[in-house]
A and B are shown apart, each in its own frame.
Chain A
């Protein structure tokens, strides 16, 4: 009975761990896909710009006017919460802002001319 229970719990644990590993692999592959796409087109920022367009409002270059923000600025004490570690661990895609940042990094390297 106890052995069966241990086996049961063990199976669940292993299943859960493997899911986490698969998700982390998926996130890694997403970066790799971005990277090869950018190399293929030679234009990392094109992809970054497209990602920026389709992603949630949170990550976008805002359409909002700086002068409107200035008026409201005094009320923002902390930034809105941008997902936590658990959410990141359980998602199949890396956060869009990270993907954009990596693409911008590629552009920087290309501008560097090496």
Chain B
């Protein structure tokens, strides 16, 4: 009984998070219609790698995923290590739905190999009034929040809050707690 309900609730949680994540695809379409927020065609998944053959072979795994899942043929990817000891899978694709679904598959693959707790965030590149902006999906919390850069190590909090209300309007699950709107410095795209 305990085990069953446990399994059930875990499944439910996963389903909820999945829906939360995919809501970015429809939201991104609508932003363009009435706001200065537009996708750059780049997105990335950031995670803490561990010593494992799986992470060493990540290149070929991602390669395979792109082959089977990309609707268009122009998808490209890069694997980049940053100065925080975390690793990025960076995708370039002009089709936003592709970015969303391929990043999800990469995340699923990492989770299937038992490294789900190493995932940190999915990050989608946007421009907002000539500034570089990102929509961050915090994987553990299952919530989105924006980052707008006004300099290399400077954030434009006002624009971020503005985008936050836009995101809520588009029914994205937005992180309510501003203290959780952590920075991500030096995003490699």
Question: Which residues of chain A have a CB within 8 Å of any CB of chain B?
Answer: 45-46, 48-49, 52-53, 58-71, 73, 97, 100, 104, 107-108, 111-112
Closest to A100 in B: B178
Stretch at the interface among B10-18, B51-59, B163-171: B163-171
Stretch at the interface among B103-111, B124-132, B152-160: B152-160
Report yes or no: B121 in contact with A59, Cβ–Cβ below 8 A.
no
Sample of 14 more A-B contacts, CB < 8 Å, known A45-B165, A65-B185, A66-B182: A49-B158, A52-B157, A59-B178, A61-B179, A65-B184, A67-B84, A67-B86, A68-B84, A69-B182, A70-B120, A73-B140, A100-B178, A104-B164, A111-B166
Report yes or no: A67 in contact with B184, Cβ–Cβ below 8 A.
yes
Main secondary structure of the interface of A (DSSP, over half): helix
Per the CB 8 Å criterion, the residue count for chain B at the interface is 29
B46 in contact (CB, < 8 A): yes
Cβ contacts A to B, 9 pairs, < 8 Å: A48-B158, A62-B183, A65-B183, A65-B184, A66-B183, A67-B85, A69-B182, A70-B48, A108-B168
